[in-house]
Amino acid sequence: MKITKEELLQIITEELEDMSQEPEGSEEADPESKEKFRQRMVDMSQQLGSLKLDNSEIVLINDIFTIILKYANDKSGGNLLTRLKELIIKKLGVE
């Protein structure tokens, strides 16, 4: 199943508009969590050569990932990120 950039951006925009509730306070992740996250990013980067993605998909995934990381870094977005994850799973049918 392919999804266009416009469709994906529309889905994300609608969900972001619905999710105005931010959690109070923000705790920085512990060093162990950050290390696990860093290692997962390294592992995924090593798998890129074996993925069957076209150029537009690579650009879209990169754009989405950049947006999510910027949002997560700028705000305490746990609730929003959880709902976004649930939406992606629901719409794409993958986990």
- The string of pLDDT tens digits covering residues 39-89 is 888 888 888 788 888 889 889 988 988 888 888 877 666 778 888 888 888
Under DSSP, the state recorded for 30 is: P
pLDDT over 50 (residue 23): no
pLDDT over 70 (residue 21): no
pTM greater than the 0.75 cutoff: no
pLDDT of residue 3: 72
Taking the CA atoms of 50, 32, 29 and 85 in sequence, report the sign of the dihedral they define: positive
